[in-house]
Chains A and B, each alone.
Chain A
Amino acid sequence: MVQSEHLSKQFDADLQGLRSHVLQMGGLVESQIVAAIEGFATGNRELIERVINNEPRVNGYEVTIDGDCSHTIVKRQPAASDLRMIMAISKTVTDLERIGDEAEKIARMSKQIHERDRLQVQRFGEIRHVGSIAVQMLRQALDAFARLDAAQAAQVVREDVTIDDEFRSIVRQLVTFMMEDPRTISSALEIVWIAKAIERIGDHAKNMAENVIYIVKGTDVRHTRFEDLEREAKG
């Protein structure tokens, strides 16, 4: 999507500022998930604490960027692609903030699990694996946003199915564990919550990707079949 400049250079600067702030926030959130999953896998206290302490910064980004969106609407009365961009940014920062919450949740639960140390978490390579898919999805969604690439955004939506499948398989595996040794139940449940948090991260990355398609194509592709979404993104 190639856009010429506005008559108002200040408007261009405002929009550019908004977009780069979203990317900064996205960078922070991405590092939060990476650290949270690493903290879960290794029990590294420092990493876990860092995630928990950084969470308010993520919230701060959300409030600031949303405020900037409101100001831009008031000052510029944006239309067409500008309006879509601002609407999408406002929704995207909500998704990013929720991803931040999920990262914090993972960190807090990892802390509990490692303090109790009943279950050998190293055995759950699957969590690491599904976590890396979620991180990859978030990266791609941010990349698609930065480059306004609808085709790449469609790819992210496709990936979400993989995460959902992985989540179900982790749950099945944990159920087996719990049946074998009921002492692992409370820890296993915590791991289920962690897997669920990662699955939610995938959902939010998917929402962000749908927002990118909305910006570029002007079509709201939420709650549509993947085939329709893909056609819209490529069309």
Chain B
Amino acid sequence: MTALAERVGPETGTEVQNQPALKAEVRGLSFHYGEVRALKDINMALHEKQVTALIGPSGCGKSTFLRCFNRMHDLYPGNRYQGQIIFHPDGLDLLGRDVDPIEVRMRISMVFQKPNPFPKSIFENVAYGLRVRGERNRRNVEEKVEQALRGAALWEEVKDRLHQLAFNLSGGQQQRMCIARALATDPEILLFDEPTSALDPIATASIEELIHELKRKVTILIVTHNMQQAARVSDYTAYMYLGELIEFGVTDTLFIKPKMKQTEDYITGRFG
């Protein structure tokens, strides 16, 4: 929520809304798993250094949509994209055939539902992306790893045991380490696929707090089943149903006065 004085205009007493710049624009995006059309002609904007939440019932296509951003679907044969995801400021179409998915994943990182540490040390987990990128300078790697762990609010807890196996961390710490791993390559967009559904309320709160901190530097797109979480962490919310984008808007407005009846029914628990 923005500052009160900013929202209450001095003369009119009406809300003042400043739209931030765009980081990405989804244009006419459809996606097919073989014969199944999982996304239908989605048009949506992703605002820079803002958190956008994707909500909707299971199977509505929100994870599928999220995965389009870093070309995760390329890993399986038979998957097909239509449309564009224009990445700003380059104007690059992320779905373009000539775009290298590995390069895309450096700039658009992802954090999954369950923490998925590699069977390596904490240090090597976080350094992984840098190594893939070909970073050889030890000091650079160390610096980046520390920066990423600080960014993920984990540094103080692990700085004395960086070379221990990552599996020894608690669930919440593992997830923050995965966020650090995602941050190490200085991504411009962070994708979160239900990042707290495997965590307890305390660990969830720390991840949400972190998301709040991270948006100073990166643009965030988060899939969540927890509507209160969407309301808490996001600036914009998109409601999806059966592969379609039903409604997209400012979170505060969408949760108080949704435009579409389908959105209203879903967020008020009237949805079968």
Contacts and interface: CB of A to CB of B under 8 A. Distances in A.
B13 interface: yes
Nearest to A85: B268
Contacts of A5: 270
A124 to B, nearest CB: 39
Contact of B257 (A7, A11, A218, A223): A218
B270 A6 contact: yes
Contacts of A84: 256-257
Nearest to B264: A80
The binding surface of chain A is classed by DSSP as loop
Contact of A81 (B264, B271, B272): B264
Contacts of B255: 79-80, 83
Nearest to A87: B256
A7 B256 contact: no
Contact of B231 (A8, A11, A79): A79
Q: How large is the interface on A (under 10, 10 to 19, 20 to 34, 35 or more residues)?
A: 10 to 19
B237 to A, nearest CB: 11
B256 A82 contact: no
Contact of B228 (A3, A6, A77, A82): A77
Contacts of B256: 79-80, 83-84, 218
B258 interface: yes
Interface string B258-271: 10000111011111
A60 interface: no
A74 to B, nearest CB: 12
B267 to A, nearest CB: 4
Interface in A88-128: none
A81 B268 contact: yes
Contacts of A223: 13
Given A218-B257, A219-B257, A80 B269 contact: no
Contacts of A83: 255-256
A4 B265 contact: yes
Interface in A50-86: 76-84
A4 B270 CA distance: 7
Interface of B: 13, 227-228, 231, 255-258, 263-265, 267-272
Interface of A: 3-8, 11, 76-84, 218-219, 223
11 contacts: A3-B270, A4-B265, A4-B270, A6-B268, A7-B269, A7-B271, A7-B272, A80-B258, A81-B264, A81-B268, A82-B268
